[in-house]
Each structure stands twice: as C-alpha cells, then as structure tokens.
Amino acid sequence: MYENSKDLTPIAGFYGTFAYITLDWKIKDRIDLKFDTGEDECKYADNTKILTDSVEFEKKFDLYCKDRNFALCIFTIDLIEEILYFLKESEIDFEMTITGNEIYFRFFSREILRTLNKYPSDKITLYQYYLILKFIKEITIKLNNKIKELE
C-alpha cells in the first residue's frame, strides 16, 4: 500500500502474495524473472534480456541478468519446466528476483487471504495456496543445488 500524494488516500500497489526466501549460497549477479508485458527493456535492473531455448517460457516470461552464461547455468531446462508446470497448474502469474542469497517472489494471486476469511472452506483458494507454497519449496531447493554446483 502507498498513499496518494494529493489527498493521502491509501492505494493498493500490489494485490497478491509476496514471499522472501534466504538461500544457503550467494549468486554473483542479480537475476530478474518478470512476467512478459511485451516490453523489451527491463525496468527493474540494468541487466540485459536473456533468451532461453524454451519458446513457451519466452512467451510467458522475460529473464534478465548481466551475465548470460551465468543465468543459463541457473535457469536450466529442468527449472524452466518447473516454472511452466506451476504456471499451468496454478494459473497464477508471478515474478521472481534473485540477488545475493535472497529470492523475492510476487504472486499475482489477488486477495487470497480475504477470500479465505469470507469463505474458509474455499477449496480452490486453499489449493492455490498449497501450489504456491509447494512451488516456493521446490524452486528454493533447486536453486540452492544449482548455485552450490557453480561454487
């Protein structure tokens, strides 16, 4: 949330689920995985766009990093397949930034918590939360292993 500069009214800047994870290992360059908006330039970092071998991945995401080879060592086909599987299964768009030993996730899952407060037995919403948590766990394990291999 942030405030409107004219009348100090709270305005929602992001609806969804935010997650922060600490990795066991540090990476040398920042990597940004952004949902493809159709723009060619990254507004989040001074990084360059990296193209992968996956056409489906390229349609959904933009990957940015200063070092192309490093990014492709991290974003191998198994990680890309994991990401695409999550996207297909959950139908929740997301973005991810890896910097140092931290991962930041933004899941555009709308207001899931408010939905659960109103309808606590909503199985679809509970399943979406399960998928998000499972995905975070699996991606974190894979990233830790990949970064460790690169050390």
- 28-85 per-position pLDDT tens digit: 889 999 988 776 555 555 668 899 999 999 999 999 999 999 999 999 999 999 999 9
Contact present, 65 and 71 (Cβ < 8 Å): yes
Q: In this predicted model, what pLDDT tens digit does every residue of 77-105 receive, in sequence order? A: 999 999 999 999 998 899 999 999 999 99
40-61 b/e with 16+ CB inside 10 Å = b?
Answer: eebeebebebbebebeebbeeb
**This prediction's pTM:** 0.80
In this structure, what is the dihedral angle of CA atoms 117, 121, 125, 129, given to the nearest 10 degrees?
Answer: 90
